[in-house]
């Protein structure tokens, strides 16, 4: 089996009463492994004969490092030119079938397809967590984080991209990037959407889930009742609420691997895909030109050569790590590690994320809750597996797509808060919040409580990423630096105060929903609902929204923090680009998967233009 789930023996605390840590949890994971532990790609390779992997003469036109949200797009578009040989290298395995089930998204965390990074403590955030470190999951398989995320398809606000352009990044305004969002998109719900903002002919399926439960509708109704209009977040106006669309089709996830690589992988002879192949170094010659990579596969080292470009699409955490290992980064840090400096750049800086927290709990009465007993849980999992066309509770992601965008001040140019809702067994969570979050393996569609998370869309705090001096090739040091700028708490406090008013809506009252007004353990000294209590929750139960960006910042040459230019070329090294979310100068107001796909489209178009332009002149 390709998928190895979270090790409950190592993760579950002693003497816990969490259901996930009981015999139910162990049996449930065993069932998932049996039903969904294999991979579509492995079965295709078995039926057609495994892909040949010639390692003797590895010469290509382009090498793409990382088969994630952007990398799969890049490899697809480059290999569309039959005279270009393209190598796509992925550090993780094939994408296992378990990733396709929307309601199992949280079961993927901590498994073998998660890099399972942790942040470094700063004394201002993650205070209730072990070592004051927050978990930062990242996808490690074909599809990358598009195979492990919560599936929501949200692009951000128009203003975000106009700000990028105003920072000196020509070609990245909203008018410039909208065609690239549309190019990838295959929207399956166009009857209610404006064609001006959406595409239907692309590879990336985008749709609403076939199943939406009552508590999810309750949240959308409550936000709407409190003044947030029903809206298409990706259209004319982001401010508002709606059940978000997902990167899914017919009740299954559609990762960028599913959308962009699987359909061409076994047809285009000029595309070579290698999994379990972690790139350790970019090869750069004496003329400061990238000409290849060294990668490790099954314990052996190999070299691949690129005659045109090496394109790094390893994501916001692994792209800067690889650049620094290759001599591209801050000279002081590289000198400390005895790495020869090829280009002194601010790699790893400008790290930021949409900070949020857990701890606000909405309880649901039995008639509103979707919780099931253990026997029904196992029946639902088997039933989903046996269906030809997927539907029912596991074909959606519970309340996660119940999303709202809110302005904490009416004169703001765009929303500064996003609400996204997690499902929870609320009594278990209340007793053991931190252990509970470490073992969220059960389906998101069965629950008796909600955890609405108030996200700061415009964080000012900036962190950084460094290589680990004890093992530079191991996990990097991630300084998230949440709440280093205390004003980042202001939108959160204001956003929570608006959130608490939902209890007075008809939507809540008619379904018997209510906020659990008892302080969590780490904040027991504060009165529930006060500003002091909200700040305590935010600092103690801080959590990521899985949106880290900015570590290979895009900017003009005069920007001292810029790592790549607006054409995504690494400053000081020819033949080397970065195309992924790490280039974002400022995180967009929303989820980052859709913008990463757009960056893949826009970035690879620049590559193609540069290499074909001489023939058009």
pLDDT digits (tens, 9 = 90+) for 413-440: 999 999 999 999 999 999 999 999 999 9
- Give residue 54's pLDDT band: very low, low, confident or very high (50, 70, 90): low
Write down the pLDDT at residue 173. 98
- What are the CA-CA distances from residue 457 to residues 199, 356, 419, 545, 590 (Å)? 26, 9, 10, 10, 7
How does residue 53 score in pLDDT terms, banded at 50, 70 and 90?
Answer: low
Candidates 293, 313, 307, 311; CA nearest to 85 is 307
Tens-place pLDDT, residues 295-319: 999 999 999 999 999 999 999 999 9
Q: How confident is the model at residue 191 (pLDDT cuts 50, 70, 90)?
A: confident
When pLDDT is averaged across residues 149-154 and rounded to a whole number, the result is: 97
User: Which percentage of the chain shows pLDDT scores above 90?
Assistant: 96
Mean pLDDT in residue range 542-562:
97
Check pLDDT > 90 for residue 187: yes
In this structure, are residues 90 and 63 in contact, taking their beta carbons and an 8 Å threshold?
A: no
What's the mean pLDDT when you consider all of the chain?
Answer: 96
Average of pLDDT values for 146-151? 98
Q: What is the pLDDT of residues 434-481, one digit of tens each?
A: 999 999 999 999 999 999 999 999 999 999 999 999 999 999 999 999
- Bind-site residues for FAD: 279
Which pLDDT value is given to residue 613? 77
pLDDT of residue 617: 46
Please determine, for residue 335, whether its predicted confidence score (pLDDT) is greater than 50: yes
**Ranges of each domain in the chain:** 54-95+141-151+254-349+549-617
Exactly one of 198, 352, 354, 547 is catalytic; name it.
547
Handedness of CA 117, 123, 124, 128 (dihedral sign): positive
Output the pLDDT for position 192. 79
pLDDT at 55 over 80: no
Residue 462 has a pLDDT of 98
Query: Which CATH superfamily is 54-95+141-151+254-349+549-617 part of?
Result: FAD/NAD(P)-binding domain (3.50.50.60)
Q: Distances in Å between the alpha carbon of 132 and those of 10, 433, 464?
A: 19, 14, 17
* Mean pLDDT on 283-296: 98
Mean pLDDT to the nearest integer, 548-561: 98
547 an active-site residue? Answer: yes
Query: Is 60 exceeded by the pLDDT of residue 579?
Result: yes
pLDDT in tens, 92-106: 999 999 999 999 999
| pTM (two decimals) | 0.97
Provide the annotated binding site. Answer: 279
- The per-residue pLDDT for range 223-275, each reduced to its tens digit, is 999 999 999 999 999 999 999 999 999 999 999 999 999 999 999 999 999 99
How confident is the model at residue 614, as a pLDDT?
A: 62
- pLDDT score for 615: 53
Q: What tokens were used for 484?
A: 């280093």
* Pairing of β 349-351 and β 463-466: antiparallel
User: How much is the pLDDT for 1?
Assistant: 80
């Amino acid at each position: 089996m390709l998928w190895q789930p979270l090790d409950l023996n190592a993760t579950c605390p002693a003497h816990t009463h969490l259901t996930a840590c009981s015999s139910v949890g162990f049996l449930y994971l065993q069932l998932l492994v049996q039903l969904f532990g294999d991979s579509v790609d492995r079965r295709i390779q078995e039926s057609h004969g495994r892909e040949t992997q010639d390692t003797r003469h590895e010469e290509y036109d382009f090498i793409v490092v990382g088969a994630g949200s952007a990398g799969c797009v890049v490899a697809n578009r480059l290999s569309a030119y039959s005279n270009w040989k393209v190598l796509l290298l992925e550090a993780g395995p094939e994408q296992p079938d378990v990733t396709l089930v929307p309601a199992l998204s949280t079961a993927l965390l901590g498994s073998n397809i998660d890099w399972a990074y942790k942040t470094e403590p700063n004394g201002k955030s993650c205070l209730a967590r072990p070592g004051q470190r927050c978990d930062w999951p990242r996808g490690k398989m074909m599809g990358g984080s598009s195979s492990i995320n919560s599936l929501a398809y949200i692009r951000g606000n128009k203003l975000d991209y106009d700000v990028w352009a105003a920072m000196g990044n020509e070609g990245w305004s909203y008018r410039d990037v909208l065609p690239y969002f549309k190019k990838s998109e295959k929207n399956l719900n166009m009857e209610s959407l404006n064609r001006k903002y959406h595409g239907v002919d692309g590879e990336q399926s985008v749709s609403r889930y076939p199943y939406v439960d009552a508590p999810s509708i309750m949240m959308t109704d409550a936000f709407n009742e409190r003044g947030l209009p029903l809206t298409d977040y990706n259209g004319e106006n982001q401010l508002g609420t709606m059940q978000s669309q997902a990167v899914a089709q017919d009740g299954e996830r559609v990762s960028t691997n599913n959308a962009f690589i699987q359909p061409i992988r076994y047809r285009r002879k000029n595309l070579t895909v290698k999994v379990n192949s972690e790139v350790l170094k970019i090869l750069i010659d004496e003329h400061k030109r990238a000409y290849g990579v060294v990668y490790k596969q099954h314990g052996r080292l190999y070299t691949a050569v690129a005659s045109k470009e090496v394109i790094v699409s390893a994501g916001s955490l692994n792209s800067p790590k690889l650049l620094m290992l290759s001599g591209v980064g801050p000279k002081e840090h590289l000198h400390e590690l005895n790495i020869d400096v090829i280009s002194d750049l601010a790699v790893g800086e400008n790290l930021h994320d949409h900070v949020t927290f857990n701890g606000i709990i909405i309880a649901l009465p039995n008639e509103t809750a979707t919780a099931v007993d253990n026997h029904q849980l196992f029946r639902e999992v088997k039933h989903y597996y046996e269906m030809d066309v997927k539907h029912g509770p596991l074909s959606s992601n519970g309340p996660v797509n119940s999303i709202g965008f809110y302005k904490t001040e009416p004169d703001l140019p765009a929303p500064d808060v996003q609400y996204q809702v997690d499902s929870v067994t609320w009594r278990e969570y209340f007793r053991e919040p931190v252990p509970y979050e470490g073992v969220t393996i059960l389906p998101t569609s069965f629950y008796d409580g909600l955890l609405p998370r108030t996200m700061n869309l415009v964080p000012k705090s900036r962190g950084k990423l460094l290589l680990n001096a004890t093992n530079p090739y191991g996990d990097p040091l991630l300084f998230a630096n949440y709440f280093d700028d205390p004003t980042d708490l202001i939108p959160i406090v204001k956003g929570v105060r608006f959130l608490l008013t939902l209890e007075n809506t008809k939507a809540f009252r008619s379904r018997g929903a209510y906020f659990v007004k008892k302080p969590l353990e780490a904040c027991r000294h504060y009165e529930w609902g006060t500003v002091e209590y909200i700040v305590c929750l935010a600092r103690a139960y801080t959590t990521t929204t899985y949106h880290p960006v900015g570590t290979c910042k895009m900017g003009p040459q005069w920007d001292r923090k810029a790592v790549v230019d607006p054409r995504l070329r690494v400053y000081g090294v020819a033949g080397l680009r970065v195309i992924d979310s790490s280039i974002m100068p400022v995180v967009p107001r929303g989820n980052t998967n859709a913008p990463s796909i757009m960056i893949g489209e826009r970035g690879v178009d620049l590559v193609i233009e540069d290499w074909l332009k001489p023939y058009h002149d």
